[in-house]
């Protein structure tokens, strides 16, 4: 049975990534949820539950309360979205644990990382070679459907590339061809990240890499500073090479400067979430519910039922109030503290921490933490599920 679960987990990772590719057909959301739900129920009844995450359980209870205590228009489908949320995080996140759930998360994570590495680093090739890959929404987006997906995917690929590079370099007999290949992956992922023109993804990636280097040189602070200086010098020295790929970033910066606000594209949306929070500060306005779009031209309160909150943290705050937000932050900070203090398997700890730091900053400006159909939702909760497994068992497979 375990072999079947391995294959199911591998397929799960690839299916989730496939949902945002521009080069292949996608499954319908209903089929996607059905596969997730069936696999969750099968693993639950075949392997049982050895551990239940009480903090996440409290958060889900508050989500239920937020729906019950609010009159949410049916177009938002709050109960369907909450059930989908529970099924997905139950399968890949840290909600319930058993050897079979660990098996699913272990293999889904490694195969998702492999796919992201290949596609994130390889996306740059579609810019310089005539591969016939069509442009996505927002312009060129590599193998992905949107530049806002390419940004985080390239950032994840970059952090994984650094992990693989240091993993090979740390061996007694490193293979030179592999070292060179991983250096190429680092460069290609970096260029894909620049071309995505996502300032949030770039800043979050820089913060993640700072954690990565800090962790692997935690006992050698001088070496940490030396590595940062080397990377900075190499990046600055190669500016004539990669500066040509920063046009999109420069245009965004110029646009923000004209508006007099570097966060102009997000400010109104953040204000909308804070306004919603002020209307129901204790338990929120309801799971998967928006009252304001943040766009004065459409302040008709999301008539189509789409959820685009503009910030994961503010979405949790607005939808579930201070109660739900507190439970979520406690869960989140617990894993950050674990990775910061862990002395075990420093390289794996470093890359897990760098990924979590990346999402910590990226989710300030992107609202996907409660959107169970999205690939960034999938990867974030799968990351938490694997960090939890690493904490409990000491086992992890990055790629």
pLDDT at 298 over 60: no
pLDDT at 295 over 70: no
pLDDT grade, residue 379 (50/70/90)?
Answer: very high
* Contact (Cβ atoms closer than 8 angstroms) between residue 295 and residue 268: yes
For the residues of 9-77, what is the DSSP string, one character each?
A: HHHHHHHHHHTTBSSS----HHHHHHHHHHHHHHHHHHH--SEE-HHHHHHHHHHHHHHHTS---GGG-
Q: What is the pLDDT of residues 216-271, one digit of tens each?
A: 998 788 888 888 888 889 888 888 888 888 888 888 777 766 666 666 667 889 99
pLDDT at 296 over 60: no
**203 class by beta-carbon count within 10 Å (0-12 exposed, 13-18 middle, 19+ buried):** middle
Instruction: Give the per-residue pLDDT at 18.
Output: 92
Q: Measure the CA–CA gap between 284 and 275, rounded to whole angstroms.
A: 11
pLDDT, mean over the chain: 90
Q: Measure the CA–CA gap between 399 and 15, rounded to whole angstroms.
A: 17
- 220's tokens: 């050698």
pLDDT grade, residue 133 (50/70/90)?
Answer: confident
Highest mean pLDDT among 263-277, 282-296, 324-338: 324-338
Q: What is the pLDDT of residues 299-321, one digit of tens each?
A: 444 555 677 788 999 999 999 99
pLDDT at 128 over 90: no
pTM (predicted TM-score): 0.94
Q: Measure the CA–CA gap between 191 and 123, rounded to whole angstroms.
A: 9
């Amino acid at each position: 049975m375990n072999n079947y679960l391995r294959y199911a987990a591998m397929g799960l990772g690839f299916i989730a990534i496939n949902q945002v590719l521009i080069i292949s057909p996608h499954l319908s959301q209903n089929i996607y949820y059905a596969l997730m739900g069936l696999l969750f129920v099968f693993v639950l009844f075949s392997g049982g539950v050895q551990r239940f995450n009480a903090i996440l359980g409290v958060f889900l209870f508050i989500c239920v309360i937020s729906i019950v205590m609010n009159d949410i228009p049916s177009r938002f489908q709050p109960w369907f979205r909450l059930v989908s949320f529970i099924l997905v995080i139950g399968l890949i996140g840290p909600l319930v644990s058993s050897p079979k759930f660990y098996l699913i998360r272990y293999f889904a994570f490694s195969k998702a990382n492999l796919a992201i590495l290949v596609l994130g680093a390889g996306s740059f090739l579609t810019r310089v070679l005539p591969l016939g890959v069509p442009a996505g929404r927002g312009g060129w987006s590599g193998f992905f459907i949107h530049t806002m997906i390419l940004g985080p995917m390239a950032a994840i690929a970059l952090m994984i590339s650094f992990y693989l590079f240091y993993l090979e370099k740390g061996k007694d007999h490193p293979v030179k061809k592999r070292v060179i290949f991983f250096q190429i992956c680092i460069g290609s992922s970096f260029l894909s990240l620049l071309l995505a023109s996502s300032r949030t993804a770039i800043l979050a990636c820089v913060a993640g890499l700072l954690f990565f280097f800090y962790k692997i040189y935690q006992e050698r602070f001088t070496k940490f500073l030396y590595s940062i200086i080397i990377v900075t010098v190499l990046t600055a020295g190669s500016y004539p090479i990669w500066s040509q790929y920063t046009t999109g970033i420069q245009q965004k910066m110029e646009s923000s400067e004209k508006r007099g606000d570097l966060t102009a594209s997000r400010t109104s949306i953040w204000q909308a979430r804070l306004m919603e929070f002020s209307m129901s500060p204790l338990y929120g306005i309801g799971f998967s519910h928006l009252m304001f779009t943040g766009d004065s031209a459409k302040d008709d309160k999301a008539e189509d039922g789409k959820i685009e909150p503009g910030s994961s943290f503010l979405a949790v705050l607005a939808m579930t109030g201070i109660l739900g937000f507190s439970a979520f932050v406690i869960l989140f900070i617990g894993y950050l503290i674990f990775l910061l203090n862990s002395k075990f398997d420093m390289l794996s700890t470093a890359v897990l921490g760098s990924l979590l730091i990346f999402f910590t900053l990226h989710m300030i400006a992107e609202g996907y933490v409660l959107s169970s159909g999205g690939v960034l939702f999938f990867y974030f909760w799968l990351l938490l599920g694997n960090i939890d497994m690493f904490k409990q068992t000491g086992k992890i497979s990055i790629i």
